[in-house]
Structure 1
Amino acid sequence: MFVDKAKVFVKGGDGGDGIVSYRREKYVPEGGPAGGDGGKGGNVIFRVDEGLRTLMDFRYQKHFKAPRGERGKVKGMHGANAEDLIVRIPPGTVIIDEETGETIADMTRHGQEVIVARGGRGGRGNMRFATMSNPAPDIAEKGEEGEERWVIMELKVMADVGLVGYPSVGKSTLLSVVSAAKPKIGAYHFTTLTPNLGVVDLDEGRSFVLADLPGLIEGAHEGVGLGHEFLRHVERTRVIIHVVDMSASEGRDPFEDWVKINEELALYNAKLAERPQIIAANKMDMPGAEEHLREFRERLAAAAGDREYPVMPISSLTKKGVKELMYKAAEVLESVPQTPAVHEVPETEERKVYKLERRDKADFTIRRHNEEFIVESEAIERLMKRSNLNSYDSVMRFATIMRRMGVDEALRKKGAKHGDTIRIGNYTFEFFEGTDNEYLYE
């Protein structure tokens, strides 16, 4: 079975917790803090493996979670960082963030990697919080949670040349003639439901990959039929062979067929209109084909303008003209750049890690709901998750950070008074005015 679309959940590993520990050695009666930091959580990395051809594996396994970092150790020793989780994907896979619709990466090269879920940082041990005023802090951070998200993977076939055209124009028969591929062939529409690949081997060591893509119909760019599933595979091909039934065996006008399919390609992706295209005038062994070909050439010359569309008369059944068509395709391929990117994703070192924005941006908002003041801030909620609020020292540190961020002053401006309820995330605090005129949270 060919699977060309999958949705999976990825989660980076949580960071290891820092610990509270003190030196306990002979002749060191008042040993200082010695709690080590936790290790970093593992990243989830997608890596291209050219040995894979489908997304079949992701039909059965949909959750990928990297391991968490090791907990900090005594004597100031750092917990071990977790290993990254490597997920192998086939070349031609486009990775999309489900929530935002943003393209994370367009994976085309063997060995190419992208971090789709970053591991959390390890928590700091109490030796990192020692100060002159508090030489023995009872503070240790919890490990940061790893990033998590749902991603959609779309596989776009990696082929040099793609066969497009209406259903039943002879694309599968042509592929079976020029390669060792054995596509399903039948005298009915949509015989081909998934792309078929074949290698065309010419003389002098020249060869290329040819894809028989499922037939297109009018409205495919809007998803009519299986339009989007079919069109995504055309994007990756470097050269298009547009197969036209020149015998008009089904009562359609060959030139109108050619125009409509080109319109569908352009409406789906404007870049496809610029892709080199060879017209394969198929079924030339049928009655009336020669007359239709003459008319087709006349109308094409009037409509094409300055652009050149080579027209190659062939018959997939008798194999006449097929060899010349393949040589023409190889000739055009030599003048076309390697696999075109489907999406413009900058190839920079920073782009290898998705979402590199600063995490600790100290923005917050305050709103009042009934008798509660609600503080909303990703940075503050992240800080709370890393703090041990059962420790007095940790609570005091948290209150100090809030004060420095200006949260207490903002609460006073909103009307908060001593004893009012403050909610941050899932935690509820009491606003407290200390004797030294400092605002703390209990």
Structure 2
Amino acid sequence: MSGITLRIWLLEFYALALALIRMPGGVHTDEAKYLLSIPYPHPPILRSLFAMLREMPLQEFFIRFLIASALVQAVWLLVDIGYVLSHRRRIVLVLSWLLSSALVLQAGTVMMVSLTALFGLVCAWLALRPQPIRQTSAPLLACLWLFALFSVYQSVLYLPLLIGILRAAQTSYRRMLLFLALPLLLLAMYTLINPLILASMVNVSSQDAVLELGVRLSNVLWISLVAGSGIVTLAGIVGIALSKRIDFIATLFLLSGFIALTSQDYYAILLTPVLCAGVMLLLGKRKISGELFIPLHILSTAVFIFMAFPRTPITPARMTMRYLAEQNIQGFVLIDGPFGHEWQYESIGHSIRRFTQTLSSSIEASAAAIVCTKHTCEEDVSEDWMRMEGAPVEVWIKR
């Protein structure tokens, strides 16, 4: 077995571990949207591909492993641009990606943001290669841009890198406008004719609108630290600043502005490709000591993973549906209270429906169970139901 083949297999085992540590927790609401291809909040390409595997055994594990594998194997892009560095400095560059706390936390999740980061790393790789892309390759880049946009809206945040790549290739302004603006126009048209997407955007923006400036800034700081485990964050920002590369500076500001507007921890991985590019730029100036960087990076990653890894081991939806299966309860389930798409995904073998006071008696009579996701449902259910003891949440079955 050659050295490269062995490294590929070791990376696959690492990706497998990243996928497996996320499996016990179950599917969360956003993950369920993509696995079920719910028509919001993102365009259709990737979520439709995921949904095509709905009937596949172990669909959840397969997609988790697929995403983790793609992110981990993407390190070869950094190896390619790092060939000009010494062996130890290449190790620093590789570990800045593989051991970033954002990648460890996000690689095993079924989240579109992880694949957006992969697109960002491809853009950073193209921007840092010594030779610019050929003019004949510009249409292929435009196709990649179109694919990325119609998979995840956040792909637009890497637009400055694409502009820099095409400018380095001496692409005419007319062709740049065609390659970059036309996909954006098509995406805008798609968004306008899909009201669910617009409603989702308005809902998300309204949730974060109440955040004060100080809270937003502290969120940006925290998410930036998670993106590069602190050490890569600092080194990456310094490297970008010293390089004076407008494309990377603009992308960094664009990403930071977006995170300030929508402060979700899982957006940290969007910054990671740009920060790793900054590390590469800093390594090119021989400003990093590998002997000090590597142990500090490993230590800081362990600290941030401990601080940021979800503490809830398993979702209520998975626990409850497993409990119903163990009790051999068949038929459709009524849910009293708020619930997300994870209940829909986990309810294999059960149809679910919202419980309301106006529900017809025939529908209630044919239900197998009532699951309560609010404080209590004792006042809502009739005397025909009895509460089950030992259930993970409040569950009622027929007497």
TM-score by length of structure 1 reads 0.26
Provide the TM-score with structure 2 as the length reference.
0.28
Q: Which is higher, the Rg of structure 1 or of structure 2? A: 1
Higher relative contact order (CA 8 A, sep 6+): 2
The structure richer in strand per residue is: 1
